[in-house]
Structure 1
Amino acid sequence: MWSHLVLRASLPVLHLTLSLPLCLRRPFISESACFCCCLSGEYQDSDGECRACDATCLKCTGPRREDCISCGSSRALEEGHCVAECAKGKYRSGGQCHLCDHTCATCKDAGPANCTSCDTDKFGVERYLHQGQCLDACPETFYHTSKRTCQPCSENCRLCSSPNHCLQCNSSFYVSDGQCVKLECGEGEVEDPDYEECMPCEEGCRKCVLYNPRHCLSCIEGFYNFQDGCYKNCPAKTYSVEEEMTCAPCEDDCMSCDEHECYWCEADLLLSEGQCVSVCPDGFYGNEDLNECEECHPDCATCSGPENGDCLSCEEGRTLANGECVPEREVCPIKTFLNDYGVCEDCHPSCEFCSGPEKNQCTKCGKGRFLTMQQTCVSKCSVGFFASQLSGVCEACPQGCSLCADALRCSRCQSSRRAPLFLQNGQCVTECVRSGMCPVAA
């Protein structure tokens, strides 16, 4: 009875199977259809039957070689074909062939740095293989080969056309029979990289710097080293240190010195006891000819010159009279002078102070009068001089000036037909400057 029930139960299923289309190979049944799954190396034709792919294909859409859609591990898919090797200009990855970078002739992976060979690219540029890249020119120290590769030049060669034909060497080397030979320079010489020969260093150098023969690294015997140079005698503002054969700098304002003191100062400064000063100490005056501070006369505390009549101030117990420091008891009243007999004698009436009785022995004038170079007192200074209210002296006008108000402003020029002068902006000039008109001086 149980077998009958089983048979009856299976009859609907059997009936359903017989009523559907024929399924081949690996059929499976659903409630309404029969589905087929073809094996690898097969495809399903229009009748639903599984047919064999081309022998090169792992999977395909048809029977032809170009119908492949995937390949076995030993082949790669390229435009529907399963090939053992990708075409030139392509590389294999993920079971497929991909285009190389446009610079590569062949490659092993994507990008311009994975080339394995080079040729003329699609733009017509000739390329050469160097470290995985196809370059339009080989880098320095490499040369082009007929196989489109870059090969290294010989040692110390910067530019070559073959391994045995160097055209240019590295610094300190020169070309000889296609090879680079070390340039050996003697004492006092350095390599000339432009002409591949030795050139002399600056005088006194034992060794100097490449590209700068004036920069000395060491000096020959008898020369002093100072600031990258060699000197037979130490330059201005330095002094020699014999033990080290070097030059040491003086103080900033000193032009000539040794290790102990300065001997000569820069302009506008005065030498005082081995130092450079702008003002001399008390008891000294500035000698502008020698640029030195020199001692005043012993009678003076301060002075403007070396004589006893150049005093500006006096020591205690003495008083200033006509530039001299005299004992206070020897001072004569105004308009008198002390004669050789120690007696106060009258000055010339034109003098306020004097050194003698004559009118050309005045040393200072009264109010409204001015002392000339001839030691006379006048109310009006001569041509070429002006009356200085500050000093009470007739002081010289600027050069070429016959009439002036002070030492800076001229109002009339000294002029002649042979040497005409023109007044412009308070100065006497030989030619007018284009800043305005200037009249000819009378």
Structure 2
Amino acid sequence: MGCKTCSTEDPEICNSCAEGYFLFRHQCRRHCPQSTYEDWGRGLCLPCPAPCTDCRGNARCLACQPGYFLNGGDCLKQCPQQTFSDSSGWLCQSCHTSCQTCHGPRATNCDLCLGGNPPVHGQCPPVNCPLGQYYDRYFLDQDSSCVTQCPSGSYANAATQLCEDCSPSCEACLDTSDNCVSCAKGSYKLFLHQGRCWSNCP
């Protein structure tokens, strides 16, 4: 189904697909499987670049191989400064904006405060936006704090400079509310595929 051209020796072996289908291992599919992404221009399922195990396009990772951490669509060997590995063990989350470095499990567990000062009881003074103003490249979160990365469960909306909630099916999302990088945990299991959370694998 969906074949545009097929092998003269075996009609089950597709060589190209009709519009809206993608060629994967000589079969035409509506959706590419995990570890591949949809090349709309050529109608192909192409492998995600290592060390991604799931991706959207060849430049945005959604999940990483063991030993790597997901940070803003990239797979890294370690989380960069001002981020920490969250409880999942594979996703980098931003430290609170008052921290220069932190260790988790919460963003406010600072090792060093901005300006190089040590934290008091593990906490740094908050950095808040003055009323009616915002810091460039910062986003306003639900606590009215300016953050460089929005907390888990929300994403940075570049147009509004606000941290906005992810879709209820997402535990974490990127760029838009429904571009999930991990699925919400609840009474039933959800499966992540191509940035969406499904109750059944597509």
Q: TM-score, normalised by structure 2?
A: 0.50
Residue identity opposite 2:82 in structure 1: G
Q: Which protein, 1 or 2, shows the higher relative CO under an 8 Å CA cutoff with sep ≥ 6?
A: 2
In structure 1, the residue matched to 2:24 is: 226
Distance (Å, rounded) in 2 between the aligned partners of 1:282 and 1:294: 10
Matches within 5 A, 1:31-430: 203-205=1-3, 206-208=5-7, 210=9, 213=12, 215-254=13-52, 255-289=54-88, 291-305=90-104, 306-308=106-108, 310-325=109-124
Report how far residue 224 of structure 1 moved: 0.8
Cα distance change of structure 1 residues 284 and 317 upon mapping to structure 2, 3 Å threshold: closer
Cα drift, residue 268 of structure 1: 4.0
Aligned with 1:291: secondary structure? coil
Contact 1:237 1:257 in 2 (8 A): no
Q: What do residues 86-121 of structure 1 show as CA deviations (whole Å, max 9, x unaligned)?
A: xxxxxxxxxxxxxxxxxxxxxxxxxxxxxxxxxxxx
Secondary structure (helix, strand or coil) at the match of 2:118 reads strand
Amino acid at match of 1:323: G
Work out the percentage of aligned pairs sharing the same amino acid.
Answer: 30
2:200 equivalent in structure 1: none
Counterparts of 1:245 and 1:212, CA distance in 2: 19
- Which deviates the most, 249-258 or 317-326? 317-326
Runs of at least 5 residues in structure 2 that lack an aligned partner in the other structure? 126-202
TM-score, normalised relative to structure 1: 0.25
Report the Cα distance in structure 2 between the residues aligned to 1:317 and 1:267, rounded to whole angstroms.
Answer: 33
Measured after TM superposition, the shift of residue 283 of structure 1 is 0.1
Change (3 A) 1:271 1:298: same
Q: 1:259 deviation in Å?
A: 3.9
Query: Judging changes above 3 Å, is the alpha-carbon distance between structure 1 residues 249 and 317 closer, same or farther for their aligned structure 2 residues?
Result: closer
* Structure 1: tracts of 5 or more residues without a match: 1-202, 327-442
Alignment of 1:12-23 (within 5 A): none
Tell me, in whole angstroms, the C-alpha distance in 1 between the residues paired with 2:38 and 2:57: 8
Gap change, CA 1:325 and 1:278, over 3 Å in 2: same
Report the RMSD for the aligned CA atoms in angstroms. Answer: 2.7
Report the alpha carbon displacement of residue 216 of structure 1 after superposing the two structures with TM. Answer: 2.3
Supply the AA of the counterpart residue of 2:17: C
The offset of 1:230, in angstroms, is 1.9
Give the secondary-structure state (helix, strand or coil) at the position aligned to 1:282.
coil
In 2: Cα distance, 1:218 partner to 1:317 partner: 59
Distance 1:265 1:300, change over 3 A: same
Offset at 1:241?
A: 2.0
Equivalent pairs counted in the alignment come to 122
Change in CA separation of 1:270 and 1:209 when aligned onto 2, cut-off 3 Å = farther
For 2:85 and 2:91, how far apart are their aligned partners in 1?
Answer: 6
Counterpart residue identity of residue 225, structure 1: L
1:211/1:303 CA distance change after superposition, 3 Å = same
